[in-house]
Structure 1
Amino acid sequence: MRKIIVAIPLVLSLMACGDQAQDFDATGTFEATEVTVSAQLAGKLKSFTVSEGDNVKANAVLGEIDAYQLQQKSEELVAMKQQLSATETATDAKQLNLQKQVASLEQQVANAQREQQRFAELVKDGAVPRKQLDDISNQVRVLQRQLEATREQIRSNNAALKAQARGIEAQRQGVEAQQRQLADQINNAQIVAPRAGTVLEKYAEAGEFVTPGRPLLKLANVDEMYLRAYVTSLQLKHCRVGQTVTVMTDYGEGKQKRTYRGVVAWISSRAEFTPKTILTDDERADLVYAVKIKFKNDGYAKIGMYGEVKFND
């Protein structure tokens, strides 16, 4: 009879343990939005002082790739552009000089014609010999030929100058396009944080040679994290995007769980087999749906850590 009395409390204890309700509806692991920052330029890492665990601000300069050759090329393009401007200025000056010559010749022709008219009157009155009138008339003809030759040169130059101007403008646009391209490449020499976050991993060190596309570091925003949990088809009926839930994680060593207010941010539209490390409300469920729950992290939750979720009624 004593054996029966001893056995009954043991059975009751086991039954009580089996009937204890779990205080979560689903489990999963914590994750964050991760960004891999890669090199956009080939060259030697001049500086890269950021370390794993550092918190960085958005657009912060984390390092720099040597862009000396690109800077040299940029200076050469500046010199080419200056040379084009100098050529354009010299051409304009040459044309202006011809125009001044035309104005001077026009004035000389006008003066000579007045003298010609004056000498014609004097010859008519017999005051001066005919030869003087002939001389001034010859001078007028010479000046007129010079004036017409200069005007023809200007007309000829205008056609050539227009073609030259188009060529200079085309070269200038080409140089400016190269300058913009080089400016982008030189700007890409700086390693910039695309967003605020914590450096999770660092893949290179200062002094190494990097190529475009090579990963340099990984950032994550651990202030706003997600719990990727899995729910059964039965639970899915009561789960919706925007729903407020309770996210939990253990302090460890049997202490009270740490809780966060979470919001369902995403629900998968496709079922999958239950991952081995995941517990659900129905342990017999073979197919589950992934959900992502967003919450504000106080610094305790870590990427990859186990977490639980309780769907609020």
Structure 2
Amino acid sequence: MNRTGKIAIVLAIVGLAAGSAWKYLQDRSAEQALRGIASGNGRIEATEIDIAARTAGRLSDVLVKEGDFVEVGQILARMDIEQLTAEKREAEAQLSRARIGIDTARSFVTQREAEKEAAAAAVAQNEVELQSARKRLARSEQLSRSGSVSEQVLDDDRARVDTSVATVAAARARLAATDAAIGSARSQVIDAEASVEAAQATIARIEADLRDCELKAPRSGRIQYLVARPGEVVAAGGRVLNMLDIGDVYMTFFLPTAEAGRTAIGSEARIVLDAAPQYVIPARISFVSDIAQFTPKTVETEEERQKLMFRLRAQVPRELLQKYVAQVKTGLPGRTYVKIDSNAAWPAALAQPLTP
């Protein structure tokens, strides 16, 4: 080998050593910068909401498209209401009939009360006639002892008293019958009023079903995909569309035991997406699982315990999401950094997050 070749080999070795040293210094620098900070890979997720039909029926119309932003309370789809409208008309007719039944039953009560008053007057009149007949009989008996009246007159007066007693008894029976009739008429009023309440409850139920036929957004968000199309028959509880609550966005990631154990709920975090590494997204730890994953069911040794991984969730502030609502996308991969030491300082690359 000539002198020039030897020099080239030496220079290559020196360059390789210098590169290794530089990489080692960089790694050491990054390690020092992230002291007190843990990190894990994950993907952006959001709460999914299924919009479903409460009752079975035919889907009449879908008012949104996939990707549309919707506000809370906005009508997203409508179910066919022809059958419910017919049922409501039927219930309204039953309500009218029940109200007429109340008026009829009340008129019966008034009629029976009038009959009672007439029966009471008849009882009073018959009792007066009975009293008069008894007085006449008493006089006839006195005169009969002196021979002033015949036995025929005495017998007639006795018969008149017996007749009056029977008449009073019959009048009192009619009075008691009118009391029973009044009770029956009043029970008919109660029954008619119950029919009115039942018809009103039926109408209220149908109106609730009619309101439920308008499928509304329970929260503000974005339509993710449509499950059913207009004209399709949907079962009770059948999904019509799916939406994302873009005010509830987070990244799920995993940390080993030592780091997860030092992470508190509410800890400050940073999210960096692979698609936009120049932006740092602020977040807070909203969940730390109490169950380890990716490990054997029974952990026997300390070495195995070091392999335990716990699931965490870094929640993005709602105020920031509202500002960048058009840029919110789920499924994007990235990395979450979290302070496991509250006194640790963010490195320069993570020190300037986005602000609401």
Asked if these proteins are the same fold (TM beyond 0.5), I'd say yes
Cα distance 1:270–1:97, how it changes in 2: closer, same or farther (>3 A)? closer
Matched, 1:306 2:328: no
- Aligned-pair CA distance for 1:46: 1.4
Write 1 or 2 for the structure with the bigger share of helix: 2
Name 1:93's counterpart in structure 2. Answer: 107
2:108–2:185 contact (8 Å) kept in structure 1: no
2:55–2:235 contact (8 Å) kept in structure 1: yes
CA distance in 1, matches of 2:185, 2:117: 20
Q: Which residue identity is paired with 1:82? A: S
Match of 2:51 among 14, 28, 37: 37
Residues 140-289 of structure 1 correspond to what in structure 2 (within 5 A)? 154-252=178-276, 256-273=277-294, 286-289=307-310
Cα distance 1:160–1:104, how it changes in 2: closer, same or farther (>3 A)? closer
1:30–1:307 contact (8 Å) kept in structure 2: yes
Matched, 1:58 2:64: no
Residues 65-76 of structure 1 correspond to what in structure 2 (within 5 A)? 65-76=79-90
TM-score by length of 1: 0.73
Q: Which residue identity is paired with 2:336? A: V
Residues 5-44 of structure 1 correspond to what in structure 2 (within 5 A)? 5-17=11-23, 20-21=26-27, 25-44=39-58
> For structure 2, which runs of at least 5 residues remain unmatched after alignment?
1-5, 129-163, 296-305, 345-356
Q: Which residue identity is paired with 1:43? A: G
1:101–1:150 contact (8 Å) kept in structure 2: no
Name 1:135's counterpart in structure 2. Answer: none
Q: Secondary structure at the match of 1:270?
A: strand
Quote the sequence identity (%): 18
- Aligned-pair CA distance for 1:152: 6.0
Cα distance 1:19–1:237, how it changes in 2: closer, same or farther (>3 A)? farther
> For structure 1, which runs of at least 5 residues remain unmatched after alignment?
114-140, 275-284
CA distance in 2, matches of 1:273, 1:102: 88
Q: Which residue identity is paired with 2:278? A: K
1:182-216 CA-to-partner distances (Å, cap 9, x unmatched) read 23322221111111111111111222221112211
Q: Which residue identity is paired with 1:290? A: R
1:249-271 CA-to-partner distances (Å, cap 9, x unmatched) read 2345xxx5210111010011122
Q: Secondary structure at the match of 1:89?
A: helix
Name 1:121's counterpart in structure 2. Answer: none
1:41–1:65 contact (8 Å) kept in structure 2: no
1:249–1:301 contact (8 Å) kept in structure 2: no
- Aligned-pair CA distance for 1:44: 1.4
Name 1:291's counterpart in structure 2. Answer: 312
Q: CA RMSD in A?
A: 3.2
CA distance in 1, matches of 2:70, 2:17: 58
- Aligned-pair CA distance for 1:243: 0.7
1:211-234 CA-to-partner distances (Å, cap 9, x unmatched) read 112211111122441011111122
